[in-house]
Amino acid sequence: MRLIALFIALMLGATSVAAQDGRLVTLSTSNDGRGWEAVGRLDIAGKGFCTAALIRDDLILTAAHCVYDRDGRPIEAGRFSFGAGLREGRAEAYRNVRRVVAHPNYRFGVGTTGEEVARDLALLELDQPIRTTRIFPYPIAATPRAGDQVGVVSYARGREGAPSLQEICDVLGRQNGVVVMTCDVNFGASGSPVFRVRNGVAEIVSVVSAMTNLDGTAVSLGASLDQPLSELLAYYDMGAQSILPRAIMPGQRGDTGAKFIRP
């Protein structure tokens, strides 16, 4: 955790952060939400919710810490449900979850270290594919570099009824698989897809893992998707039943699955 805080301090010292990187806009109508229907709220019975995004017609991507209970126990697949494009109580598609696979080297509860954030990825297999004319899986792209502008679509505490879009936030830097950004996130935004739009196509470049506030500047941390996601997909494609690495020690988590870091 200290290494992350030091890295953030160095990035903030070396990078001019705009006072307004982009306000959060609630996607409250079908017009507003067009193109973002494959982002959904991942409800977790008895825990709260996270955010997830469709990357195959039967597979969603989220943060690994979302798939563990507060006591460090893995959450069984039957407790999850995914509402794609959920808005004011209605979703474009609802699905239950049949299988949960976290990154094989992720360890819940070891503290928010760079190693934990870099592998904070999980895949959830839906009980039925989502195939509609409005919902399409997002492609995955290379990890963004310092200075890139990205966006994030998330659900969060206080705005859980509809997704919110922050169209522009800055990438401050990356180190050892951790992407540091100015995206505005809160409890429930864990697992949110971070997008870069190229040639009119939204590509996922990171997944929100944690958040902190340093010297009055909101900072979010995300996992790189290059090697860690390839490893996770290979693990998933082994075809086994739900695979969750053993938790080390229960960590303290918020009621909706997101994590705060104290600098």
38 belongs to a structural domain: yes
pLDDT at site 79: 97
Task: Give the number of other Cβ atoms within 10 Å of residue 173's Cβ.
Answer: 19
Task: Give the number of other Cβ atoms within 10 Å of residue 40's Cβ.
Answer: 31
51: Cβ contacts below 8 Å, ≥ 6 apart: 39, 40, 41, 42, 62, 153, 154, 155, 156, 163, 188, 189, 190, 191, 192, 193, 208
255 belongs to a structural domain: no
pLDDT at site 161: 93
List pLDDT tens digits, range 204-240: 999 999 987 767 777 899 999 989 999 999 999 987 6
- How many domains are contained in the chain? 1
Q: What is the 3-state secondary structure (H, E, C) of 68-122?
A: ECCCCCECCHHHEEEEECCECCECCEEEEEEEEEECCCCCCCCCCCHHHHHCCCE
258 belongs to a structural domain: no
250 belongs to a structural domain: no
State yes or no: pLDDT of 252 exceeds 50.
no
256 belongs to a structural domain: no
163 belongs to a structural domain: yes
Q: What is the mean pLDDT of residues 7-12?
A: 46
125 belongs to a structural domain: yes
List pLDDT tens digits, range 104-131: 999 887 665 688 899 999 999 999 999 9
Q: What is the CATH number of the domain that holds 52?
A: 2.40.10.120
244 belongs to a structural domain: no
Domain range spanning residue 137? Answer: 6-239
